[in-house]
Amino acid sequence: MPGAEGTRLERWALYPPVFVLALVLSIAQPYPELSLWGVLPVMLVAAAFPLGVALAYGVAGMPRAGGPIGLMVGLAVIYSEIEPIAFALVLASSVVLSAWAKWRAVKVPWAGQLTRAANLGSMALLAFGLVQWGARGFSVPPEWDAGPVPSLGSSGPTPPIYHLLLDGYGDPDWLTAELGCSTTLTRDLEERGFAVPAGATANYPQTLQSVTSVLAMALFDPDAAPTSRATYRAAIANSRVEAALVGRGYHVEQLLSEYSSLRLGTSDVRQVRPYVDFFAYALLPRSVFGSISKLNTGEPSRPLHALHRRQLRWTFRHAADPLSQPATFRFVHVLAPHPPFVIAADGSARVDRSSASIEDGSDWAHKHDGSVEGYADGYCEKLQWLDSELTDLVDRIVADHPDAVIVVQGDHGPGDEVDWAATELEEYHGRFGALVAVRGPDAVRAELYDGMTLVNLYPAVFRGLFGADVPALPDRSFWASWDEPEKLLEVTSELTRTLPSGGPESGGIDR
Ligand SMILES: [Zn+2]
């Protein structure tokens, strides 16, 4: 019997599942906001198949020759974009070969030594990943101090404030003129009492940076911006906007998206169901489930895309639910019109045959054969659906709360011209344009101005609504690549040069 001699490490091909677990753990590393206990179930589900293969090869006494084939199967299970036919062939041939080898008692030279080396190597990789994860649990991200929390006073009305963060909603004028979207949102919102400044602009091109600066009401020092995304997440969880509102007696509620990095700190949370996080998005299409889905339907991410539509519909259905008290700050984040573009203008399912999840910019193109063809169509369709959901939501909110203050913002525009590796872009308007629309008392509307940047959104709302002393910040914008978010390249002059109204100093809104 080939398996009878040698130590356990030589006889049992443990490395396919161990290697797969190490690989899965490394995919999980960029999501430090998730706990290991949170990601373990997803990891085990995704790795269930290679774990089964391990039982066949190792524990059930399959010959050592099965090990290399088991590794191939393991890789096929976890490697993205694998062709399901190739996957099935590898699987079937490995089973046949192993059974044959066992039946013929085939002896592979050096098999024991190779198996032991592979076992030890894979275990070292897994241990390294676990130590890395554990070390992070004890590390505290460097703090970023946005300044003291402003006082919002104590007298006067405290109407409900709805913050609708529409991820990736660019400047409507630019989207119409340059991307070819047909949107009437500006007019629809103006008819509903919103002020919609023209040429509103993001300060940063990435969600985490942009939202951090909005909620912190602060810009990063271009020479000392936070280097760690954990710092941005912590700043969102400890933001000045939230702290100021809580100090004024507001109750905080949040309806979150799949992008799990955006969480406010206050605990009166309404979690979104059905909840799929960023990590599951990254992992499941690469697992055997992606292959099965692709084989069945031609779409590796079909179940996730269906969940994304459910999540969007759930959010719009519940964003106008009754408030537990009138003075509530309800923060709603929807991953729309941001990719994935899997919802048609009429709300029906839209097919995306790539394994794309929620990547944007050059990462989106990478998953679509290196091309942005189809980006504009997908974006504009999702935008049209979003427009009608949004106006419907606004009508429901206002019917219940005629005094509601509604802050609608995009955090950046579309990503079809964005190369995440670039130190600068050819064109900044698309990515930096951002929808801003605010419904509220005249004093709030008067604080908004054409060409304003997002960082001045809440200072304007707080001045207008509470008479608070929150000074405006300079309207500056900075490009940053994905890998070096702290390397900020100022692009303010690129953006103001071609503003429809001539510049950010054009004063109050008059349209
Ligand atoms: Zn975003």
251 or 275, higher pLDDT: 251
Model confidence at 504, pLDDT cuts 50, 70, 90, reads: very low
Q: How far is the CA of 82 from the centre of ligand 1 (A)?
A: 29
DSSP string spanning 276-314?
--HHHHHHGGGSHHHHHHHHHHS-TTHHHHHHHHHHHHH
Give the H or E element holding residue 96: helix 84-104
26 or 71, higher pLDDT: 26
Please state, in angstroms and rounded to a whole number, the distance separating the CA atoms of residues 428 and 153. Answer: 39
Q: How far is the CA of 412 from the centre of ligand 1 (A)?
A: 6
Q: How far is the CA of 282 from the centre of ligand 1 (A)?
A: 17
pTM for this entry? 0.83
Q: What is the pLDDT of residue 415?
A: 93
Q: What is the pLDDT of residue 506?
A: 40
239 or 95, higher pLDDT: 239
Q: How far is the CA of 153 from the centre of ligand 1 (A)?
A: 32
**Residue 58 pLDDT > 60, yes or no?**
no
Q: Which amino acid is at 488?
A: L
Q: How far is the CA of 181 from the centre of ligand 1 (A)?
A: 19
Nearest to 43 by CA among 63, 25, 58: 25
Residues 144, 226: contact at Cβ < 8 Å? yes
Q: How far is the CA of 432 from the centre of ligand 1 (A)?
A: 11
**Residue 508 pLDDT > 90, yes or no?**
no
Residues 172, 435: contact at Cβ < 8 Å? yes
pLDDT, tens digit (0-9, with 9 covering 90-100), for 215-228: 999 999 999 888 88
Q: How far is the CA of 261 from the centre of ligand 1 (A)?
A: 11
Please state, in angstroms and rounded to a whole number, the distance separating the CA atoms of residues 56 and 63. Answer: 10
Please state, in angstroms and rounded to a whole number, the distance separating the CA atoms of residues 202 and 208. Answer: 12
Q: How far is the CA of 91 from the centre of ligand 1 (A)?
A: 39
Q: How far is the CA of 142 from the centre of ligand 1 (A)?
A: 23
Helix (H, G, I), strand (E, B) or coil at 68: helix
Residues 220, 476: contact at Cβ < 8 Å? no
Q: How far is the CA of 211 from the centre of ligand 1 (A)?
A: 8
Q: How far is the CA of 186 from the centre of ligand 1 (A)?
A: 20
Q: How far is the CA of 230 from the centre of ligand 1 (A)?
A: 17
Lowest mean pLDDT among 58-67, 193-202, 233-242: 58-67
Q: How far is the CA of 499 from the centre of ligand 1 (A)?
A: 22
135 or 289, higher pLDDT: 135
Structure tokens at 48: 């269930």
Question: Within the chain, what is the greatest distance between any pair of CA atoms?
Answer: 87
145 or 61, higher pLDDT: 145
Nearest to 216 by CA among 144, 142, 141, 140: 144
474 or 52, higher pLDDT: 474
Model confidence at 329, pLDDT cuts 50, 70, 90, reads: very high
Q: How far is the CA of 6 from the centre of ligand 1 (A)?
A: 55
Q: How far is the CA of 337 from the centre of ligand 1 (A)?
A: 9
Q: How far is the CA of 136 from the centre of ligand 1 (A)?
A: 25
Instruction: Enumerate domains of the chain plus CATH numbers.
Output: 8-138 (no CATH), 161-484 (3.40.720.10)
User: Strand 251-255 vs strand 161-166: parallel, antiparallel, or unpaired?
Assistant: unpaired
Q: What is the pLDDT of residue 22?
A: 81
Model confidence at 251, pLDDT cuts 50, 70, 90, reads: very high
Structure tokens at 283: 């992992």
Indicate the DSSP class of residue 472.
P
Pick from 35-39, 40-44, 327-331 the range whose average pLDDT is largest: 327-331
Model confidence at 116, pLDDT cuts 50, 70, 90, reads: confident
How far, CA to CA in Å, does 158 sit from each of 280, 302, 442, 465? 39, 44, 15, 8
Please state, in angstroms and rounded to a whole number, the distance separating the CA atoms of residues 133 and 142. Answer: 17
Sign (positive or negative) of CA dihedral 503, 504, 509, 511? positive
pLDDT, tens digit (0-9, with 9 covering 90-100), for 348-394: 999 988 877 788 999 889 888 889 999 999 999 999 999 999 999 99
